[in-house]
Chains A and B, each alone.
Chain A
């Protein structure tokens, strides 16, 4: 079973703080790395899908980087807002399978 790990497990920050999470994944047979945001009582929604080593993607205050050689990805949130509170999931794609990490729970206090 392929193991995708995320850290930290949870994070509490103040409004305006910048923060980042890590996703580690096996780099052999890697196809793509996905990041999803999962808000309470909603469905997970895709933030980014990255495939190439060195990929950097940005959506508003959120950005992500990918290192396929060493098997990790970082998700950054600049100037956290209360509406950023959610569980952030990463998933690594191997063949036809998406393997998820356990997620990082972010709580932003105003």
Chain B
């Protein structure tokens, strides 16, 4: 089955700790994205990558880091510098070029800082 897998589904982190969210896709998509959702708000773009070994900051990249060493994988690290990390995180992927091509989403990771 082709798709996007995010893990874990739920994650608890102590303040001051870094944590890494996993996103893997077997759709052979070039582009991958990380979004954050807070209550009452839309999906906000954290980082995106159009090709292996390249990525760009989205609208709310501060306190986050990513890597794209393999086409299938785009892990997101939430660092201790992220002031308000408790949120729902969604990973997505799409073909290149993105125009007229739908995005496919994982099931999300809910991160809670305790």
| Cβ A102 vs Cβ B42 within 8 A | yes
Tell me which residues across on chain A come within 8 A of B102, comparing CB atoms: 34, 46, 49
9 residue pairs from A and B, CB less than 8 Å apart: A1-B59, A4-B42, A46-B104, A51-B99, A89-B43, A96-B31, A96-B48, A97-B48, A99-B45
Given contacts A32-B99, A49-B101, A51-B99, contact A102 B41 (CB under 8 A): yes
B41 contact set on A, CB distance < 8 A: 102
Total number of B residues with any Cβ neighbor in A under 8 Å: 29
- The interface size bin for chain A is 20 to 34
Query: Could you tell me the distance in whole angstroms from the C-beta of A103 to the nearest C-beta in chain B?
Result: 6
Interface residue from B40, B45, B107 paired with A98 (Cβ < 8 Å): B45
Contacts of A34 in B (CB 8 A): 102-103
Whether A93 lies near B99 (C-beta < 8 A) is yes
